[in-house]
Amino acid sequence: MSDEGVKIGLETHVQLDTETKLFCDCPNNTEGTPAPNTSTCEICLGMPGSKPVPNQAVIDYALQTGLALDCAIHDSIVFSRKTYFYPDMSKNFQITQYEDPIARNGTVELDGMEIGIRRVHIEEDPAKLDHVGGSMDSANYTLVDYNRAGTPLLEIVTDPDFTAPEEARTYLQKLARIMQYLGAYDPERLTIKSDANVSVNGGNRVEIKNITGTREIEEALKHEIQRQRRAYRNGKDVPQETRNWDPDAGVTRSMRSKESEEDYGYIVEPDLIMIPVSEDAVQSADASLPELPDEKRSRFLEEHGIEKELADALITDPALADAFEESVEAVGADMAASWFSGPIKKTLNYHELTYTESPLRSAWIVTVLAKLDDGEISDQAAETVIRELVENPREPEAIIKEQGLEKAGGDEIQQFVEDVIEENPDAVDDYNSGDENAVNFLVGQVMQKSQGSADPKEARELLIEQLSS
């Protein structure tokens, strides 16, 4: 997987799933609704005399994230002002953490390799700029929405330990999942954005800004590595600079020569006192950590004896994983794992729903799988019921009755088989002249006639018996 001579480090900003903003009581995550600039107050607009008050929920999530990433926790929380002048920050500074981040020196395990976590720190998001009629360079005018100003972010910085774009993507997926398990991040409503530092063959480091999500990262990095390689092959230099990723064009573009952190004036935020983090607080945060994705996978393998690929699919959605476990007792781990990681997950993906967002209930699924296990319905019928439970939810028994999905009895199948043989003389001739595939066609016809209620194995046996007599 590794790409010769490539070094990548990531700085990732994750929007946190809290009720209110970082330093005021304005609601968080209201982008788009309500109207722009109505979810604001004197604190998040930075009016003179206003005093920020830290949101405890943000501190708790930051602490838990730091612990989940095996970091050392700093003994206090100190905020700094990062001074810059730009319309997205009306007070002309951003409150962030600089010298002493809440957590540092962690690791994330990635398919046998270790990615170093340099630091995890809390900061506020600036306002959102809406470049109307084009990009930053070509827009007719730009609107500012301060609803996002002051909302909480966690910045997670890695060491330059990635050697290929795929690794960066896998890491981001893992990070997002860990934070989802902590309840700190909701992939459906919130965003995760990364800046990446990339160099090849010991050359200059180029920073790529604003790569959104967990999938775009791979494409952006692949493109940038190719661009740098091409430059070196043509005898050109790769200057140290900051580039912007344009996902629509699939290219990175030069923004500015790289500024250093010293170019920003950092001062300790005088309006916020230092918050001590006691050893007890760290221990109780550690004790309150939920079971994390890696632990859940290991436990599924050990306790339920299922295949690793199925476990991987199940842990992508914590609620799906819980529902899986609830049905293990009723129908056994193998059947539950293959249905939850297969047809159930496929149906949810098709409708772009998480398990929680869907109307599915584990009791319904247990009913369907138990009927399948008892031979009352076929695989095909079970899939139909599951689709129906998502699309038009009601009791599974009602669906089975309405749609006549109960498995056809022996006499019924016999009748279907006789009808199908009578209606398809060509296929029967083909079979009699040695074309074994003709039987597959006839089984298909029986299945169609029975609307999936026939057992295909039984139908095949009856057909062959009938045709050979």
Rounded CA separation 123/58 (Å): 10
The smaller minimum CB distance to Zn ion, of residues 42 and 391, is found at: 42
Q: What is the three-class DSSP state of 245?
A: strand
CA distance 194 to 380: 43
CA distance 426 to 98: 79
- Cβ of residue 36: shortest distance to Zn ion, in angstroms? 14
| Of 26 and 306, CB closest to Zn ion | 26
Q: What residues have CB less than 8 Å from 368, skipping those under 6 apart?
A: 377, 382, 385, 386, 389, 396
Among 6, 14, 26, 68, binds Zn ion (CB under 5 A): 26
Q: Please choose, out of 16-24, 164-172, 412-420, 425-433, the segment that lies near Zn ion by the rule CB under 5 A.
A: 16-24
Separation between Cα atoms, residue 104 and residue 176, nearest integer Å: 18
Q: Which of 16, 44, 115, 314 binds Zn ion (CB under 5 A)?
A: 44
Closest to Zn ion by CB, 149 vs 368, is 149
Q: Dihedrals φ, ψ of 448, to 5°?
A: -65, -45
CB 44 within 8 A of CB 23: yes
Minimum distance of Zn ion from residue 26's CB (angstroms): 3
Nearest distance in Å: CB 391, Zn ion: 41
Q: Which residues make Cβ contacts (< 8 Å) with residue 352, sequence separation at least 6?
A: none
Q: How many other C-beta atoms lie within 10 A of the C-beta of residue 315?
A: 23
Show the CA angle centred on residue 80, arms to residues 255 and 157, nearest 5°: 55
Residue 242 C-beta: closest distance to Zn ion, Å:
30
By CB under 5 A, is residue 149 in contact with Zn ion?
no
Show contacts with Zn ion in window 288-327 (CB under 5 A).
none
Stretch that binds Zn ion, among 26-34, 257-265, 402-410, 461-469 (CB under 5 A): 26-34
The gap between the terminal CA atoms of the chain, to the nearest Å, is 58
Size of the residue set binding Zn ion (CB under 5 A) = 5
Residue choice 5, 41, 128, 258 for contact with Zn ion (CB under 5 A)? 41
State in angstroms the smallest separation of the CB of 40 from Zn ion. Answer: 5
What amino acid occupies position 131?
H
The reply on whether position 24 binds Zn ion by CB under 5 A is: yes
Closest distance to Zn ion from the beta carbon of 53 (Å):
10
Least CB distance from residue 219 to Zn ion, whole Å?
Answer: 36
Shortest distance (Å) from residue 42 CB to Zn ion: 7
Cα gap 324→341, rounded to integer Å: 9
Which CB sits closer to Zn ion, 24 or 68? 24
- Could you give the string, one character per residue 258-277, with x where binding to Zn ion holds by CB under 5 A and - elsewhere? --------------------
Q: How far is the CB of 276 from Zn ion (least distance, A)?
A: 26
Cβ closest to Zn ion, residue 153 vs residue 311: 153
Burial of 341 (0-12, 13-18, 19+ CB in 10 A): buried
Looking at the Cβ atoms of 43 and 306, the one nearer to Zn ion is 43
Burial 78-111 (b: 16+ CB within 10 A, else e): bbbbbeeeeebbbbebbbbbbebbbbbebebeee
Binding mask 86-125 vs Zn ion (x if CB under 5 A, - otherwise)? Answer: ----------------------------------------
**Interface ranges with Zn ion (CB under 5 A):** 24, 26, 41, 43-44
